[in-house]
Amino acid sequence: MFRRVLTVAVAAASLAACSATTGQAPQGERVVTLVTHDSFAVKPELLDAFKAETGITIKTLASGDAGAMTNKLVLTKGNPIGDVAFGVDSTFASRALKEGVFAEYASAEAGKGAQRYQLDPPNRLHAVDVGDVCLNIDVAALKDVGEPKQLADLADPRYRDMLVVQDPATSSPGLAFLLGTIATFGESNWTNYWGQLKANGVKVVSGWEEAYTQDFSGSSGKGPRPIVVSYASSPSAEVGDDGTPRTKALLDTCYRQVEYAGVLEGAKNAEDARKVVDFLLGEKFQADVPGQMYVYPSREGVALPEAWTKAAPLPEKARTLPASQVDANRERWVQQWRALVQG
């Protein structure tokens, strides 16, 4: 699920403000329950404007990370916990589709860019945002050593004890990084690569916040390690007073994650739920995505914040794996990783 909220306090404040809409609705009011991951954030005024335009109140229901949320949606598919879900990402989408969690709905707004990331012809899921997981480096800390250029470079003794990654069993970017290594080195060689990383002193932590804000030297936490698994957009939050980013995403190391939204099968308010999907794909919400959730909008033609132009360009050739392949092998790959790296 990708969640990669870089200024955690800002995102949390935004979500708290958004959650003001989640109280008990007055009798007769039109309410759509939007199931989200914990890092969903939106300006409250956008929700207010949507309500003024449509008469619909969006009630958010945070349900853990992408994996936990997907599990809840699968387990409750006979009696869905909401009307719409946002945040099922490309590493879990095939499971949700196979289990029949989402209903068919072809939003007219999808033709503005979301169709580039379409997963199934019935249009049960619509791409809302893109967040590529990449290696990030502390530029100054690596000045004398030299920057790694690709994943294979991290096995070089020059980078011993410099890399911190997240556990793929507990972290969305950690899983994406694991999938990126499998896409790069193949089924026959990815375990050898991780064996080299282990021998070279890779540190594994449970989640993104710990890795980025505590261990990474390029963030405000000023930790000891100058290489971290984060997002292509992360350097936009690390721009100095002189306008120069202190960190850099290595765009040849990225794995693409896409987050989707869809109407839940059996939703009590299906007609209004479709309007919420349209809202998530609409120009106003899409323009809010970079500043609130630090990911790239799926809609074409949406202007990115000025700092992103230099610090956080969207990678042109991020790695991917077919969703069906990920679904079929994810648990086995994670178990193999755990036995190798943590065993």
Average pLDDT over every residue of 218-231: 92
Averaged pLDDT for residues 111-135 = 93
Do 98 and 192 fall into the same domain? no
Q: Which residues of 308-324 are buried (b: 16+ CB within 10 A; e: fewer)?
A: beebbbbbeebbbbebe
Judgement on whether residues 301 and 318 belong to the same structural domain of the protein: no
Q: Are residues 16 and 147 in the same domain?
A: no
Amino acid at 242: D
pLDDT at 120 over 70: yes
pLDDT at position 86:
97
Whether 24 has a pLDDT exceeding 80, the answer reads: no
Top pLDDT among 67 and 341 is at: 341
| In a shared domain, residues 228 and 182 | yes
- The confidence score (pLDDT) of residue 4 equals 45
299 and 243 assigned to the same domain: no
Is residue 340 pLDDT above 60, yes or no?
A: yes
Top-confidence residue, 113 or 67: 113
Residue 3's pLDDT band (cuts 50, 70, 90): very low
User: If pLDDT is split at 50, 70 and 90, which confidence band does 239 have?
Assistant: confident
- 227 found inside a domain: yes
Mean pLDDT (whole number) for 98-103: 96
Residue 304 lies in a domain: yes
Find the range with the poorest average confidence among 42-46, 238-242, 262-266, 268-272: 238-242
CATH number of the domain residue 116 falls in? 3.40.190.10
pLDDT at position 100 is 96
pLDDT of residue 26: 55
My answer on whether 161 and 236 are in the same domain is: yes
pLDDT at 207: 87
Of 174-178, 265-269, 277-281, 324-328, least confident by mean pLDDT is 324-328
Question: 247 and 261 share a domain?
Answer: no
Q: Mean pLDDT lowest for which of 23-32, 77-86, 114-123, 176-185? A: 23-32
| Burial of 50 per CB tally in 10 Å (0-12, 13-18, 19+) | buried
Are the C-beta atoms of 38 and 284 separated by less than 8 Å? no
Domain identity same for 172 and 247: yes
Is residue 2 situated within a structural domain?
no
Q: Check whether residue 36 and residue 118 sit in a common domain.
A: yes
- Reported as a pLDDT band with limits 50, 70 and 90, residue 22 is very low
Whole-number Cα distances in Å, 331 to 176, 328, 337? 13, 8, 10
Number of domains in the chain: 2
Q: What is the mean pLDDT of the chain?
A: 89
Same domain for 192 and 249, yes or no, is yes
Quote the domain boundaries for residue 285. Answer: 8-130+257-310
User: 329 with 204, same domain?
Assistant: yes
CB 327 within 8 A of CB 98: yes
pLDDT tens, residue by residue, 29-62: 899 999 999 889 999 999 999 999 999 999 999 9
For residue 3, being part of any structural domain is answered with: no
Calpha distance 235→146 (Å, rounded): 18
Residues 123 and 53 reside in one and the same domain: yes
Strand-pairing partners, residue 134, are 230
The tens digit of pLDDT for each residue in 287-322 reads: 999 989 889 999 999 998 888 888 888 888 899 998
pLDDT of residue 248: 95
Residue 1 included in any domain? no
Mean of pLDDT values over 142-162: 97
